[in-house]
Structure 1
């Protein structure tokens, strides 16, 4: 692993979070059902975890949590639970 790798990982995590921020800030539940609320909760929890990990220096954890958050968001969009 090269010496610059930790900085590259931090920059990548920051870039991903900056791109995701408006998506999650504007994520709207369009179907108020138990399933819809669960998908929303899971997406937002993983997004908030990503921010927590980033703020605590765990940049790999931030990227991983953000990928899970986006997975829940994409699945929720597919199921018509969300509007962006």
Structure 2
């Protein structure tokens, strides 16, 4: 296996990473109504892309599944970078592009 292949093991690794990040994604208190709504949309988009990734993997399309996982995680990272998430996990830098 080279690093240019999308394998079931690689998908499992990134799916677990993204699903864990999604569980850690708590919306920060004190956001404006607009910020909160946008953050909720980002989290919803993430969950939908994770679901899509599972669908593609089930149908044998590992490349599109991997792409969907990357999109999913990007939505969470966007919310974190915007300062809309309250992530207190000790390993938060493993799951988010913050700090």
1:54-73 correspondence runs (5 A):
54-73=57-76
- Measured in 1, the distance between the counterparts of 2:58 and 2:71 equals 18
Counting matched residue pairs gives 80
Structure 1: distance between partners of 2:52 and 2:86: 22
Compared CA separation, residues 35 and 20, structure 1 to 2 (3 A)? closer
TM-score, with structure 2 as normaliser: 0.64
Q: Which structure 2 residues correspond to residues 35-74 of structure 1 after superposition, within 5 A?
A: 35-74=38-77
Structure showing the higher helix proportion among its residues: 1
Provide the C-alpha distance between the structure 2 equivalents of 1:67 and 1:42, rounded to a whole number of angstroms. Answer: 12
CA apart distance, 1:62 = 1.1
Match of 2:25 among 24, 27, 44: 27
1:13 to 11, 14, 28: 11
Aligned in 2, Cα 1:25/1:57: closer, same or farther, shift over 3 Å?
Answer: farther
RMSD: 2.4
Which residue is equivalent to 2:92? none
**Runs of 5+ consecutive residues of structure 1 not aligned to the other structure:** none
The SS at the match of 2:7 is helix
